[in-house]
């Protein structure tokens, strides 16, 4: 129990720090605001209980909110993403049994599985973020561009970090 979640707990704090100290302040052409912290939600083990999945996602969202003066915004998006996770795993194809200690990453599930799994969830997260942040019909085009660009960039960062950690594991 301790071993399975120790790494996740560490990742929880590291990702919040990385998000609020670096990523939120890096300007990549105006529209792009990658939210790498969702990596935490993606990487929680398959067998994580539902309540823990939802509450830890809520907490990491709230943690990011605390530092960006946007109370509740990231929390709402993260909880929505966590809620969809079990459904997406079922659709993408869950491993037959969890006995092999499989993790929802590229190493265990393959690149294509991880890509579709991460892409759907990141898009859902950024969609809620965009809708709640400030929805105005007049700005629908701008919101759409932000949504696509930021989600793609988050996905890119997630996959890069996934490969970075994988190499170290071997």
Partner 1 sequence: MRYILAFIWRYRFFFLFLVLEVVSVVLIANKSYYQRSVITNATDGFTGGIFTAWSDFTSYFRLKQENERLANENARLWQRLTESQVTNDTLTLNVDDTLRGQQYTYAVARVISNSTTLRNNYIMLNKGKRHGITRDMAVFNPSGIVGTVVSVSDNFCWVMSMLNKHTKVSARIDRLNQMGTIVWNGGSPARGTLLDIPAHVKIKVGDTISTSGFSHIFPEKIMVGTVEKIYVESGEHFYTIDFRYSADLNALQYVYIVKNLLRKEQVDLSNSITDE
Look at residues 100, 104, 67 and name the one whose alpha carbon lies nearest to residue 82.
104
Q: Specify the residue, 111 or 144, whose C-beta has the smaller distance to partner 1.
A: 144
Q: How far is the CB of 74 from partner 1 (least distance, A)?
A: 9
Confirm or reject binding of residue 139 to partner 1 (CB under 8 A). Answer: yes
Closest CB 168 distance from partner 1, rounded Å: 26
What's the gap between Cα 31 and its chain centre?
19
**Interaction residues for partner 1, span 107-126 (CB under 8 A):** none
Residue 146 binds partner 1, judged by CB under 8 A: yes
Establish if 132 lies at the interface with partner 1 (CB under 8 A). Answer: yes
Q: Rounded to an integer, what distance in angstroms lies between the CA atom of residue 146 and that of residue 109? A: 30
| Residue 47 found at the interface with partner 1 (CB under 8 A) | no
Site string for partner 1, 55-84 (x = CB under 8 A): x--x--x---xxxxxxxxx-xx--xx-xx-
* Residues 113, 28, 137, 117, Cα dihedral to 10°: 10
14 lies in the site for partner 1, by CB under 8 A: no
């Amino acid at each position: 129990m301790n071993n399975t979640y120790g790494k996740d707990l560490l990742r929880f704090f590291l990702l919040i720090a990385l998000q609020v100290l670096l990523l939120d302040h890096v300007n990549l052409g105006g529209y792009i605001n990658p939210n790498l912290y969702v990596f935490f939600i993606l990487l929680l083990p398959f067998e994580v209980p539902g309540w823990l999945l939802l509450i830890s996602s809520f907490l990491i969202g709230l943690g990011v909110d605390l530092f960006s003066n946007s109370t509740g915004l990231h929390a709402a998006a993260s909880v929505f993403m966590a809620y969809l996770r079990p459904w997406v795993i079922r659709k993408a194809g869950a491993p037959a049994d969890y006995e092999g200690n499989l993790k929802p990453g590229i190493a265990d599930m393959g690149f294509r599985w991880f890509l579709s799994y991460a892409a759907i969830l990141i898009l859902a997260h950024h969609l809620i973020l965009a809708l709640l942040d400030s929805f105005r019909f007049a700005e629908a085009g701008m919101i759409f561009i932000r949504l696509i660009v930021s989600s793609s960039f988050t996905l890119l960062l997630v996959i890069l970090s996934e490969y970075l950690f994988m190499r170290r594991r071997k």
